[in-house]
Amino acid sequence: MLEQLSWKVGGQQGEGVESTGETFAVALNRQGYYVYSFRHFSSRIKGGHSNDKVRVSLKQYRASADHTDVLLAFDQESIDLNVGEVKPGGIVIADEKFNPTAPDHVRLFVVPITKIAEECGSAIMKNMVSLGASACVLGLPVDIFSEVIEERFSRKGQKIVDQNMEAARRGFEYMKELGGADPAFALKPADGKRRLFMMGNDALGLGALAAGARIMPAYPITPASDVMEYLIRKFPQVGGVVVQTEDEIAAMTMAIGAAYGGARALTCTSGPGLSLMMEAIGLSGMTETPVVIIDTQRGGPSTGLPTKQEQSDYLAALFGTHGEIPKIVLTPATPEECFTVMGRAFNYAEKYQCPVIVMTDLQLSLSKQTTEMLSLDDVKIDRGNLMTEEAIGAEDPKAEFKRYQLTEDGISPRVLPGTKGGLHHVTGVEHAENGRPNETAPNRAAMMNKRLRKLAGVELPGSVEKTGDDNADIAIIGVGSNIGAIAEAMEKLRADGLKVAHIQLHALLPFPTQSLTAAISDAKKVLVVENNATGQVRHLMSYFGVEHSDVSGLNKYDGRPFLPSEIYKHVKGMF
């Protein structure tokens, strides 16, 4: 019996591929298995090949498997495009409707999926027939889908629920008659423990909610829109609101206004939208207004690859604004960290009174994966140097409030509008301590220095995480969702006798120069793994003074995430 298995469903976009994969993954997660699901889909509403690859295992993996054990195909194109990754002796389950063919290295089971679905009530239920057939192959009872089917279709009435379950059972029985119940593909029983199953975007939304955010102006954009959709459902329950703006410029400026008014405000976008926000991000820095921006990276430039993986916004996030302002850039790697990073992001924004950009990527944002239970104890709220009326009065009730006071650490006192004694001017032009415009040379230098002092010499806690071996033959550096493929490759490399360290960067600004330098100092070689063409993180290491005699890069920019084998093979070729 297997401890892990990779299952994939493929077909035309809009014919139930997503719902089939979702039902399969959720049902297996509820049995106590660890599940990692990555969906490949086209940049269109309907048509074009789509697939969902689901990894089911007894321990947690955070990357898709290198191979596929079972391929469920709704059309011949799905076989042609995906059968190459099906391992020898693997299984292909295909609908007889399209007279499927497959190469000799796989076992092809032809099932009248559409015909059985029609006999049960509607061809649309072919996903249930195929799920039943899959359960038979994996040695699982077909009833594992009953709870999910009940939840999905109960609002349509019991008849629809019963028809869908009957379709699943019919698929199961047909596959059993074909001899598809192969013990070699049966999964070992899981522990039955209930865990969350969520994608990074949902975790970001939940984290923002827990951190006290109550307004999100945003403009829909793939692959960030799920954060917006999640909070549209949740914010009204706590008195919050999501505002769909006319564009990303409006979203950013509205977030700044809400934050100035005292709300914890955020917006969410992807690369093209981040570009449009750059001027307003500068306004946040100049007015020292705390605001949080989520950037879910996708393939660029321009419209690029809206539904594909890439990590090419790093330089834009760090250096995109005109002029020079302090900002913070955080890079979570797992859904659990997506949840906790939002609390830190809002705290940093208010402590340092600057914009904070939380950067994810499509793989992390849209991959659904088993996630350990989240705790509100991991979220603390710190509003920074926010002055009350009592505190202002205690200093000098008649003095003019110095919103941009020159301080040793660069952090000035902040007030909410309407606070007695806190009257001040706000402008995007250079200003004096009271906020009024002042373009004199001494004031400009003093104010610029004040703002830049806020993050001078700062390394945020947890910016660098090192696992694996000291005095390693190679240290592999990753950011974002590459954490899973790197961790798995490291296991295989260590099994081969190599000493390997995995270094994950959880923040890029302030860049953790000292911590990263220390983490790689004892490694013979350093490899930076990233989903872009030009090695942006590698360039940042050089720019910020991280020194090592042997640093190279592994770059992938074809729109697909890294597989563990790609990193493993590359490293093996280095020795």
Tell me which residue of 266, 263, 197 sits closest to 227, measured CA to CA.
Answer: 266
Report which residue type is found at 118. Answer: E
Token pair 């995430």: residue: 561
CA–CA separation, 360 and 69 (whole Å): 29
Q: Tell me whether residue 191 is in a domain.
A: no
Q: Are residues 172 and 235 in the same domain?
A: no
**Sign of the dihedral defined by the CA atoms of residues 456, 460, 464, 470, in that order:** positive
Residue 555 CB-density burial (10 A; 0-12 exposed, 13-18 middle, 19+ buried): middle
In a domain, 58, yes or no: yes
Per 3-state DSSP, the chain is made up of helix, strand and coil in percentages (nearest 5) of 40, 20, 35
Same domain, 11 and 154: yes
Residues 6+ away with beta carbon under 8 Å from 45: 13, 14
Domain around 405: 385-456
Q: Which of 417, 432, 456 is the last residue of a domain?
A: 456
Pairing of strands 464-468, 500-505: antiparallel
| Nearest of 557, 561, 560, 519 to residue 536 by alpha carbon | 557
CA dihedral 93, 139, 149, 86 (to 10 degrees): -30
Cα 490 from chain centre:
22
DSSP assignment of 403-463, as one string?
TT---TTSPPPB--TT-TT------SS-B-TTS-B---HHHHHHHHHHHHHTTTT---TTS
SS3 state at 542: helix
Q: Which two tokens stand for residue 292?
A: 């949080």
Inside any domain, residue 193: no
Same domain, 451 and 474: no
Domain presence at residue 66: yes
86 domain-assigned: yes
Same domain, 413 and 520: no
Contact (Cβ atoms closer than 8 angstroms) between residue 30 and residue 62? no
The pair of three-digit structure tokens given for residue 132, joined into one six-digit string: 């039943």
The rounded distance, in Å, linking the Cα atoms of 111 and 414 is 67
Contact 37, 23 (CB under 8 A): no
Query: What burial class does residue 226 get, using C-beta atoms within 10 Å of its C-beta: 0-12 exposed, 13-18 middle, 19+ buried?
Result: buried
Say yes or no: 155 and 56 in one domain: yes
Q: How far apart are CA 572 and CA 304, in angstroms?
A: 33
Question: For residue 218, is it within any domain?
Answer: yes
CATH of the domain at 299: 3.40.50.970
89 with 238, same domain: the answer is no
> Does 370 lie in the same domain as 263?
yes
* The pLDDT value given to residue 397: 64
Residues 310 and 369 in one domain: yes
The answer to whether 564 and 344 are in contact (CB under 8 A) is no
Claim to verify: residue 276 and residue 415 sit in the same structural domain: no
Predicted pLDDT at 395: 67
- Measured CA to CA, the distance from residue 157 to residue 109 in angstroms comes to 33
Distance CA 543, CA 483 (A): 23
Q: What is the model's pLDDT at position 130?
A: 96
Residues of the chain with pLDDT under 70: 395, 397
Give the CATH number for residue 565.
Answer: 3.40.50.920
What would the pLDDT profile of 131-176 be if each residue is shown by its tens digit?
999 999 999 999 999 999 999 999 999 999 999 999 999 999 999 9
Same domain, yes or no: 451 and 530: no
Q: What is the pLDDT of residues 210-269, one digit of tens each?
A: 999 999 999 999 999 999 999 999 999 999 999 999 999 999 999 999 999 999 999 999
Instruction: Indicate if 63 and 207 belong to the same structural domain.
Output: no
Q: Which two tokens stand for residue 546?
A: 């991280």
Q: Is residue 192 part of a domain?
A: no
Domain boundary among 436, 456, 476: 456
At a CB cut-off of 8 Å and minimum separation 6, what does 156 contact?
none
- By the 8 A CB rule, do 226 and 199 touch? yes
Q: How many domains does the chain divide into?
A: 4
Q: Which of 185, 220, 244 marks a domain boundary?
A: 185
Q: Comparing C-alpha atoms, which of 369, 378, 380 is closest to residue 335?
A: 369
Identify whether 525 is part of a domain. yes
Query: What's 124's domain CATH number?
Result: 3.40.920.10
CB 303 within 8 A of CB 429: no
Residues 342, 469, single domain; the answer is no
Q: 119 exposed, middle or buried (CB, 10 Å; 0-12, 13-18, 19+)?
A: middle
CA 100, 104, 105, 108 dihedral sign is positive
| pLDDT of res. 570 | 98
Q: How far apart are CA 270 and CA 532, in angstroms?
A: 15
Answer whether 503's CB lies under 8 Å from 470's CB: no
Question: What is the dihedral sign for C-alpha 21, 298, 201, 152?
Answer: negative
